């Protein structure tokens, strides 16, 4: 069980997860990426860490594979919605409101879903992803209410 948890964390952080996504992100500066490539990059960069975070308790609790699969699906959709929201805040936010620099992605020439889809379409896509993420939790009934609230917070946040 502990080895499985360590393995899952290593994969989420490694070349098929955060590190690989960060590498793709750096290589993609000032390059045109397709929508699928941007989604892959963002799923790797943040989505895999969200997924292992959600799955860790299920691993330790020896949850059935189907429940673990639902948690991973939830996390992947929520992670992508989180990234879209982060990119929207970078485009629309202010340094004062966010407490950090803005327009960094555009200045760095980063490929984002907001740049690819436009602000309105990206915002709508994030909302769809959150609805989808929440639907993955149906199997957990009320026990997943905190995860549902977290998903809603992800797209409602202002910083």
Domain boundaries, the chain: 2-156
50 within 8 A of 75, measured Cβ to Cβ: yes
Most confident range (mean pLDDT) of 6-15, 27-36, 89-98 is 6-15
Beta strands per DSSP E along 49-139: none
| pLDDT tens sequence across 106-127 | 766 777 889 889 999 999 999 9
| pLDDT the model gives residue 47 | 86
Q: What residue has token string 């149906």?
A: 138
The fold of the 2-156 domain, in CATH, is Farnesyl Diphosphate Synthase (1.10.600)
53 within 8 A of 60, measured Cβ to Cβ: no
Whether pTM > 0.85 for this model: the answer is yes
| pLDDT tens sequence across 22-40 | 999 888 887 888 999 999 9
Q: How confident is the model at residue 59 (pLDDT cuts 50, 70, 90)?
A: very high
| pLDDT the model gives residue 10 | 94
What is the Cα–Cα distance from 128 to 63, expressed in whole angstroms?
27
Q: How many CB atoms lie within 10 A of CB 31?
A: 10
| pLDDT the model gives residue 2 | 85
């Amino acid at each position: 069980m502990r080895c499985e948890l360590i393995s899952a964390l290593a994969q989420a952080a490694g070349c098929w997860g955060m590190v690989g996504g960060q590498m793709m992100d750096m290589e993609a500066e000032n390059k045109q990426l397709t929508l699928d490539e941007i989604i892959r990059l963002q799923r790797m960069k943040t989505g895999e860490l969200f997924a292992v975070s959600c799955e860790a308790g299920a691993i330790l609790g020896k949850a059935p594979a189907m429940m673990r699969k639902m948690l991973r699906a939830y996390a992947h959709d929520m992670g992508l919605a989180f990234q879209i929201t982060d990119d929207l805040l970078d485009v629309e936010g202010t340094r004062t409101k966010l407490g950090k620099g803005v327009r960094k992605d555009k200045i760095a020439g980063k490929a984002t879903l907001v740049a690819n889809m436009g602000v309105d379409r990206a915002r709508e896509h994030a909302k769809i992803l959150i609805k989808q993420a929440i639907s993955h939790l149906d199997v957990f009934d009320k026990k997943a209410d905190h995860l549902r609230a977290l998903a809603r917070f992800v797209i409602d946040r202002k910083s």
